[in-house]
């Protein structure tokens, strides 16, 4: 997307490398990741625990812990380089232009203030509304996320809400300033299955009404089905595969994605199928392997997979897979 006539994506992450510097050495949490998000798009980022999903998005928000640093690469939002913004500009951008539902609920909600206080403060700060109007907007937001008796909830503290209600309050908080992008990091993981489905329906509905672009992070492929236009599959800080939902669910070209698909129940199939977990564990990011990070766990690994890092092979219009099985010289019908 570099031609002058082609409009830029809303968010363009290119060759991002983010590391943590620990007493044991450099943890390469995000290692050369490129992701783009268009206006109105819903993108899923999927991968096992530790694959770098949260760190990639915390880099976008510039909210890494003190030992974390963007080592190289670019993050472009609406034509501005996020790495070059001042902390003051970032404060304006967070919440107002990019809202995030954090994986840890207490990062979003402060336990010592009521829900109402937090929403009102955020709205009056970012939208410059007077206290009374900001309060009105806060109540409106709580109703929009289907929280019953919103006036009462305004007076409650986060710990007084159930898990599902707290999650809704966090969505309200992230959406209260009509951001261009909503980043939702595992928004349903801690919830039971019925509430999970309600939150997913709520996000679908909000998206339809507001047109906000969404990045949905999850380790569960079942959650992104039906909600995401496009999906990035991450493994060990790298992109294993990316493509449309159809590409990923029906025409995957990476053994890791296929492994993930085999390890989640298919809601469309009523038969009891056998789920197959992926054997082995992800690599230590302090000492990432030289070749493909998935090779040690891959049933189809070839010699080259242990020696060279696979590039992202173009296997369709927008479909790419970092796997040598897609090389023209690979054994036919390998993937
Ligand atoms: N502050 C830190 N110091 C050192 N390493 C860190 C720190 N924060 C994260 N990491 C490491 O970075 C890697 C990526 O972590 P990240 O939180 O992005 O994973 P994730 O894909 O979001 O996993 P999960 O599904 O469990 O949330 C992990 O190996 C993690 O241990
Ligand atoms: Mg995470």
Q: Which residue's alpha carbon is at the smallest distance from atom 4 of ligand 1?
A: 20
Please report whether residue 183 resides in a domain: yes
Q: What is the pLDDT of residue 3?
A: 43
Please state, in angstroms and rounded to a whole number, the distance separating the CA atoms of residues 20 and 25. 8
Task: Tell me, in angstroms, the distance from the centre of ligand 2 to residue 257's CA.
Answer: 18
Quick: pLDDT tens for 100-122: 988 876 677 888 999 999 999 98
Q: Which residue's alpha carbon is at the smallest distance from atom 22 of ligand 1?
A: 54
Task: Tell me, in angstroms, the distance from the centre of ligand 1 to residue 236's CA.
Answer: 10
CATH (domain of 317): 3.40.50.300
Please report whether residue 305 resides in a domain: yes
Please report whether residue 193 resides in a domain: yes
Quick: pLDDT tens for 43-83: 999 999 999 999 999 999 999 999 999 999 999 999 999 98
Q: Are strands 181-185 and 80-81 parallel, antiparallel or unpaired?
A: unpaired
Please report whether residue 163 resides in a domain: no
| Structural domain that includes position 191 | 11-97+179-326
Quick: pLDDT tens for 243-258: 999 999 999 999 999 9
Please report whether residue 111 resides in a domain: no
Residue, of 145 and 306, whose pLDDT is higher = 306
Query: Does ligand 1 lie within 6 Å of residue 137's CB atom?
Result: no
Q: What is the pLDDT of residue 4?
A: 47
Of 169-178, 186-195, 215-224, 270-279, the one with minimum mean pLDDT is 270-279
Please state, in angstroms and rounded to a whole number, the distance separating the CA atoms of residues 9 and 1. 8
Please report whether residue 137 resides in a domain: no
Q: What is the pLDDT of residue 274?
A: 64
Q: What is the pLDDT of residue 183?
A: 94
pLDDT bracket for residue 185 (50, 70, 90): very high
Query: Does ligand 1 lie within 6 Å of residue 50's CB atom?
Result: yes
Ligand closest to 293 (CA) is 1
Task: Tell me, in angstroms, the distance from the centre of ligand 1 to residue 329's CA.
Answer: 36
Question: Using the 8-state DSSP alphabet, how is residue 289 labeled?
Answer: -
Please report whether residue 115 resides in a domain: no
Tell me what percent of the residues of the chain surpass a pLDDT of 90: 61
Please report whether residue 235 resides in a domain: yes
Compute the 3-state secondary structure of the chain and give helix, strand, coil in percent, each to the nearest 5: 35, 20, 40
Task: Tell me, in angstroms, the distance from the centre of ligand 2 to residue 332's CA.
Answer: 37
Sign of CA dihedral 257, 262, 265, 267: positive
In the chain, how many domains are there? 1
Q: What does the CA dihedral 325, 327, 333, 334 come to, rounded to 10 degrees?
A: -10
Question: Using the 8-state DSSP alphabet, how is residue 219 labeled?
Answer: S
Please state, in angstroms and rounded to a whole number, the distance separating the CA atoms of residues 200 and 320. 27
Q: What is the pLDDT of residue 242?
A: 97
């Amino acid at each position: 997307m570099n031609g002058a006539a082609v409009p830029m994506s809303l968010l363009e992450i290119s060759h991002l490398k983010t590391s943590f510097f620990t007493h044991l050495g450099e943890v390469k949490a995000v290692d050369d990741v490129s992701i783009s998000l268009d206006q109105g798009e819903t993108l899923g980022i999927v991968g096992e625990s530790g694959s770098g999903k949260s760190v990639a998005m915390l880099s976008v928000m510039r909210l890494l812990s003190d030992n974390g640093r963007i080592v190289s690469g670019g993050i472009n939002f609406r034509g501005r380089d996020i790495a070059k913004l001042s902390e003051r500009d970032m404060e304006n951008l967070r919440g107002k232009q990019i809202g995030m539902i954090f994986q840890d609920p207490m990062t979003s909600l402060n336990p010592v203030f009521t829900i109402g206080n937090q929403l009102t403060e955020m709205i009056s700060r970012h939208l410059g509304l007077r206290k009374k109007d900001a309060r009105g907007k806060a109540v409106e937001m709580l109703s929009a996320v289907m929280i019953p008796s919103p006036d009462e909830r305004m007076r409650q503290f986060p710990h007084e809400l159930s898990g599902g209600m707290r999650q809704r309050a966090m969505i309200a908080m992230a959406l209260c300033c009509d951001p261009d992008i909503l980043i939702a990091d595992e928004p349903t993981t801690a919830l039971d299955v019925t509430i999970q489905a309600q939150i997913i329906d709520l996000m679908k509905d909000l998206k339809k009404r507001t047109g906000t672009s969404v990045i949905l992070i999850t380790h569960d492929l079942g959650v992104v089905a039906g909600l995401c236009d496009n999906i990035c599959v991450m493994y060990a800080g790298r992109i294993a595969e990316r493509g449309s939902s159809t590409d990923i669910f029906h025409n995957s070209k990476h053994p890791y994605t296929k492994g993930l698909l085999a390890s989640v129940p298919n809601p469309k199939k009523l038969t009891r199928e056998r789920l197959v977990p992926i054997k082995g564990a992800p690599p230590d990011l302090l000492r990432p392997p030289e070749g493909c990070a998935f090779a040690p766990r891959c049933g189809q690994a070839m010699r080259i997979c242990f020696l060279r890092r696979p590039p992202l092979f173009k296997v369709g219009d927008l479909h790419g897979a970092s796997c040598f099985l897609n090389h023209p010289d690979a054994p036919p019908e390998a993937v």
